[in-house]
Structure 1
């Protein structure tokens, strides 16, 4: 057997391994507000009534969100739920719920009959804010810069203003001020993601009132990539939980969370008579 001299193999230099690319991180932005109070109230209603009706609040849930990573310069991107507040509220002008209202909200007559009145619910909510250092116990003044958030402008702008009138309660200073309409914030963010060939819906003015395109909670969740609404729609606590998820995601995506809805505590409706009086003639 003949042996052939083997030619030495040329050893290729090893390639340097490049680091595995991580998903891009969205840089935090300067967020002026330290905390966010998300709420979605449920109110009395009859089939066919709209937001001009003298709705009384029957469920009042609030989620407190705070930044986990906010720097001294205010840069932040990670919000978390710190605590939840919830109470049913006993209506006084129309204490008996309509069948339509109970079917829509899932709230029973027994739940509101045994609930505190609105003035008492406000005291409990204020204690919740004091407990978490948002308000000073003695004076009720703000200790932190916080912002109220709701799906659409109606919950505080309409429901709270009407309820304070019906209950003869002055709207507390800690709930006055502009509100973050989460629905409109998501719509604005969505519009920034559209291509130049896509015409984005815009808000317009009708007789001095801003009209905003409809964009309900399930639609907001979908556009942000969440699977589906969790819980029962038109349940105040479940709506609030899902809205909180949306606010947290907006913060994570670097959206500047600022108020975008003006509150008018002295707003009047046709059915408003003397302080606390609902005029039946004004309902038509």
Structure 2
């Protein structure tokens, strides 16, 4: 006969041991890797033991900060990626991929880097930092410097607000710009350094609808005594000129959240006001395309992009001034995380400013198209060899992984859908449109 007291004690002891083991396992899973896991030293010992399968995973970063597959092993002996540092980066990237969120944030904090964003964002941020540091230590920094952040000195972030009426067909309604904001972002400083802002008095529909006021926060008194669009446009272009942004030597481009600001609102307003479409607005960066291309996500609205980066919208949604500030913050975060933003959309108008209704208003600028733009505007300069053409820095990056459509089809309608819960959650969810 077995002593029940012994059985009970034995069972308790067994459970106690099991719980101890579970606690130890949980603790070990949360612990950061050893110091050697992300060794940022020379790593010479690692180079000798790297086999060919690891070599094929060597990091390759294209001009826009996207990780591409490495060249084949047989190409490494003759390509610039044959340097041992790329093999070491392959190993480090693999280790970063295995980290959990707590580990990623810990390593980012150690390097005084931002810890906001989802796991994939944190991984990309840490990889970018480690890559830059390793390349600098190995003396390969100059080769990548010619690829990164040399397209533009400034982003001009614009987000117009225009008249709107929920009872009108958006495809035929004549929108007039009523708010003209612009944030000037320095790509070198990674911050907003100046801004322009003015309300605009509409002429066709001088009385704002309740729907428009609820959407934008713009009240009638703000536009009643505001200057007309031709006056505001003149003020804005004087503002650009005063800051040297109209000089051919200044590399500046417009950046927007979607195709609507340039392809719909600005074009239609210039037609209404009888003024030429401005040259500075003929090409622009649609940050939605740049964002999904860099982070490999589906296209997101501004709120979702901020959420993906661990950021929150600051201010009032659909206020042009606040929208432009938040769009600028997304662009700055992409820039700091290693993205090299480029123009990806253009307006399709004739030289006289007219538009062929049988053609699309907005066309995509594919990477192949951008090569020609780079040649004409000299957007990339090779400091190491002044005799080489600006285009040579991209000869090895021939893949076209942009999210724009290579068939030049319009990816989005050129008018806002006020029933879209993602674009207008504050209106749709609150049933504001049903109340007015």
TM-score, normalised to structure 1, is 0.71
Specify whether residues 52 and 180 from structure 1 end up closer, same or farther in structure 2 by C-alpha distance, changes over 3 A only.
farther
2:179 to 54, 59, 72: 59
By percentage of residues, which structure has more strand? 1
Tell me how far 1:256 sits from its aligned partner. 1.4
- Find runs of 4+ consecutive structure 1 residues off by over 6 angstroms: 17-21
2:342 to 245, 258, 279: 258
Tell me how far 1:219 sits from its aligned partner. 0.3
1:267 to 352, 355, 359: 355
By percentage of residues, which structure has more helix? 2
Deviations 1:232-282 (A, max 9, x none): 000000000000000101110111110111212433669xxxxxxxxxxxx
Specify whether residues 88 and 80 from structure 1 end up closer, same or farther in structure 2 by C-alpha distance, changes over 3 A only.
same
1:248 to 332, 345, 348: 332
Question: Taking CA–CA contacts closer than 8 Å with sequence separation of 6 or more, which of the two structures ends up with the larger relative contact order?
Answer: 1
Tell me how far 1:53 sits from its aligned partner. 2.5
Structural mapping, 1:68-147, within 5 Å: 68=188, 78-136=189-247, 142-147=248-253
Tell me how far 1:51 sits from its aligned partner. 5.3
The match for 1:179 is: 284
Aligned residues of 2:149 and 2:187 also touching (Cα < 8 A) = no
Specify whether residues 164 and 132 from structure 1 end up closer, same or farther in structure 2 by C-alpha distance, changes over 3 A only.
same
Aligned residues of 2:152 and 2:187 also touching (Cα < 8 A) = no
Tell me how far 1:143 sits from its aligned partner. 4.0
Tell me how far 1:113 sits from its aligned partner. 0.9
Specify whether residues 87 and 252 from structure 1 end up closer, same or farther in structure 2 by C-alpha distance, changes over 3 A only.
same
Tell me how far 1:135 sits from its aligned partner. 1.7
Specify whether residues 101 and 246 from structure 1 end up closer, same or farther in structure 2 by C-alpha distance, changes over 3 A only.
same
The match for 2:260 is: 154
Unmatched 5+ stretches in structure 2? 1-34, 41-106, 112-125, 133-144, 359-436
SS state at 1:82 partner = strand
Aligned CA-pair RMSD: 2.3
TM-score, normalised to structure 2, is 0.47
2:161 to 42, 45, 51: 42
